Amino acid sequence: MRVRESSLTTQLTSIREGIGRLEVQVERLQERREQLREAFNIKEDPTEGYKVELETQLEARLLVDTEMTEARALVDSIEHQMREQEKLRGELENEVQQVRGKLEQKRISAQEISTLSRTIEEQITEKQANLETLLEGLDEDAALVDWEEQLALIGNRIQRLGPINLAAIDEYKIESERKDYLDQQNAELEDALTTLQNAIQKIDRETRTRFKETFELVNGHIQELFPKLFGGGHAYLEMTGEDLLNTGVTLMARPPGKKNSSIHLLSGGEKAMTAIAMVFSIFKLNPAPFCMLDEVDAPLDDANVGRYAAMVKEMSEHVQFIFITHNKVSMEAANQLMGVTMHEPGVSRLVTVDVNQAAELAEA
């Protein structure tokens, strides 16, 4: 590699000298061209006389440029080869260092083995044993680590044995009876666990069945009540998951004339009417003794209030409604009105009006 490097360096130097000579020749040609231009400016018409010489010089310059390009390409190639050789030399030096490190490790291991061998021979001599007899009794695949492990296991067993215990038989009998009792307790616990798991599975099955039935009933009711409250449109319930025990429920509502994709696009009144439809659907499934509504019709216009009051009137056959309102249309649908008035400052009085009696008085 060093001889190759020296040869490439020599070639590179020669090429660079050639490039220098070519550059000097180019400078001379340029000076000659300037002289010709000056002569052309001085003389009346020197063009015809120098045409042949100019063409000759141009061809020579083209040849020189071509040689310079080839020389530079050759220089680049040689420099690339030198870089590759330097890289290869670095890799070889790294491999040599690794091999030297491995050789050093092998040498250290050999010294350790030699020292260990002398130590073992000294121990055998101290025990007055015969090395050849011991080697004949060993297996071919015997290893020092295996014998050391066996020796450590035997030593641990001897230490665990401790002194002789004459009461070990009685203790064994007591511990055996305790083990039988614990096994019996464990069997009872496993039986109880099995029973509990079966009960959980039964509850889960019943929960799934009842949830699905309830979901379908409420979904049917809301599909029936929503168009009544809105005068059109449709709404339905949708599960968000496959597992009936962990799924959520989404209310999909689309009032008439709207193509909303989210409940946030609904107005306040539409949100209130949708909530009323949901509540009434649940009441139809499992009606409560009474229902209290606090200014539910506040965001509704007169048309929606009329449909809301009609729905309350229809549902009042099964559920007693107590609602707070300031809307006259809602008041007209009530059977009993109760209001609070303040004739004197700081003194409130309750006023009760029976709508049927008031109607009879008005007719009379």
pLDDT digits (tens, 9 = 90+) for 80-107: 888 888 888 888 888 888 898 888 888 8
Domains of the chain, by residue range, sit at 2-116, 178-286
Please answer whether residues 185 and 199 qualify as being in contact, where contact means their C-beta atoms are separated by less than 8 angstroms.
no
Higher pLDDT, 55 or 190: 190
pLDDT higher than threshold 90 for residue 192? yes
**70 vs 75: CA distance, rounded Å:** 9
Per-residue pLDDT of 289-328, as tens digits, reads 888 888 888 888 888 888 888 888 888 888 888 888 888 8
What does the angle CA 78 – CA 81 – CA 86 come to, to the nearest 5 degrees? 125
CA diameter of the chain: 142
Residue type, 32: R
- HEC string for 204-270: HHHHHHHHHHHHHHHHHHHHHHHHHHHCCCEEEEEECCCCCCCCCEEEEEECCCCCCCCHHHCCHHH
pLDDT higher than threshold 80 for residue 343? no
> What local confidence, expressed as pLDDT, does residue 157 receive?
82
Q: Which helix (H) or strand (E) holds 165?
A: none
Q: What is the CATH number of domain 178-286?
A: 3.40.50.300
Q: In terms of pTM, does the model score above 0.85?
A: no
Residue 339 DSSP SS3: strand
Average pLDDT over residues 345-364: 74
Nearest of 261, 260, 258, 253 to residue 235 by alpha carbon: 253
Please answer whether residues 341 and 348 qualify as being in contact, where contact means their C-beta atoms are separated by less than 8 angstroms.
yes
